[in-house]
Amino acid sequence: MAELDRIKNTCFLWNELYSKINEIIELRELAQSENDEHALRDVERDLVNFEKVLSEFEVKTKLSGTRDRNNAIVSIHAGAGGTESCDWAQMLARMYSRWSESKGFEIEVIDILDGEEAGIKSITFIVKGEYAYGLLKSEAGVHRLVRISPFDANKRRHTSFSSVDVIPEVDDNINIIIADKDIRIDTYRSSGAGGQHINKTDSAVRITHIPTGIIAQSQTDRSQIKNRSTAMKLLKARLYELEQEKQRADYEKHYNEKGAIEWGSQIRSYIFMPYQLVKDHRTSYETSQVSAVMDGEIDGFVSSYLSWKLTNTK
């Protein structure tokens, strides 16, 4: 029934788009025949809005994966570059937060480790919304930043790296069996801001899956029970993704493509100086609107990646 509702919604949106473009054509012809400049401006505004909705619809038609509709679990890790990379990791987290807000998605932070001087060493959060994983899977890989460092008194140009990993959140009833003997559960005190309670009790939970070495942890809730539940859900998602990639014989390829968090392995470069450019090295899509990208306008990169992926998997 859920699948039927999604198909109905897709058909309904298509019919709405079809009716809207015919309406715009009729209004433009009428405005032109009457030489009505005000009506023509209204038509142009409607056409811009229509093209935006059509573009979003077109992107969704490229999302046919079994888990594309799911929420996305995003992990960002600072790489080579010290404090610079920690700051860059935080900038990426903000970029995805702003993008999620523009889509009406919700973000739930489940684990974060602050940098020693600034920024964050790592963060894991869930982006909740329809097609969140399908859209964000384009972001998995190493992201490279080139800028004049705000932490360098000599104002030299620095290059920093951070990695982004994206996996789909799986349903609670997914058939992943985790034996008690295969996991080790550790509790510890949460770090960072959180009030007088969260840092004084062992509320944070870390679960290690012994056979695979996969670790899942959560520390953002003051309840140890809730953190344990969140960490177990994250572990399930990672084990499911591991199994899926094994079935596709693509597990090692996934990590080889992402590569080490250093020079030569990046999927995208963000250049602030000496010129402004953001370029995806897989699709060659680029834009000079660096500030807009850092404010979450990454739809161009998402759309170009989905088209590139379809072409390269045929």
| Residue span of the structural domain in which 292 resides | 72-171+271-312
Q: Please report the pLDDT score of residue 3 as a whole number.
A: 74
153 and 79 inside one domain: yes
Q: Please report the pLDDT score of residue 60 as a whole number.
A: 80
Give the residue among 86, 102, 128 at the shortest CA–CA distance from 230.
Answer: 128
Q: Count CB neighbours of 119 within 10 A.
A: 23
CA dihedral 126, 129, 133, 139 (to 10 degrees): -70
Q: Please report the pLDDT score of residue 261 as a whole number.
A: 57
Examine residue 156 and state whether it is found in any structural domain, yes or no. yes
Number of domains in the chain: 2
Q: Please report the pLDDT score of residue 255 as a whole number.
A: 45
Examine residue 198 and state whether it is found in any structural domain, yes or no. no
0.85 exceeded by pTM = no
Give the residue among 308, 276, 278 at the shortest CA–CA distance from 95.
Answer: 278
44 and 135 inside one domain: no
Q: Please report the pLDDT score of residue 283 as a whole number.
A: 95
Degrees (nearest 5) of the Cα angle 212, 213, 216?
Answer: 110
Domain boundary among 61, 80, 101: 61
22 and 159 inside one domain: no
Q: Please report the pLDDT score of residue 287 as a whole number.
A: 97
Mean pLDDT by 10 residues, the chain (314 residues): 79 90 92 89 91 83 83 92 90 97 94 90 94 94 92 84 92 73 88 52 87 89 87 88 67 48 77 94 96 96 91 70
Q: Please report the pLDDT score of residue 263 as a whole number.
A: 54
Q: Are 142 and 261 in contact (CB under 8 A)?
A: yes
Examine residue 189 and state whether it is found in any structural domain, yes or no. no
- List b or e across 133-169, with b for residues whose CB sees 16 or more CB atoms inside 10 angstroms: bbbbbbbbbbbbbbbebeeeeeeeebbbbbbbbbbbb
Q: Are 120 and 104 in contact (CB under 8 A)?
A: no
Q: Please report the pLDDT score of residue 264 as a whole number.
A: 57
57 and 80 inside one domain: no
Examine residue 99 and state whether it is found in any structural domain, yes or no. yes
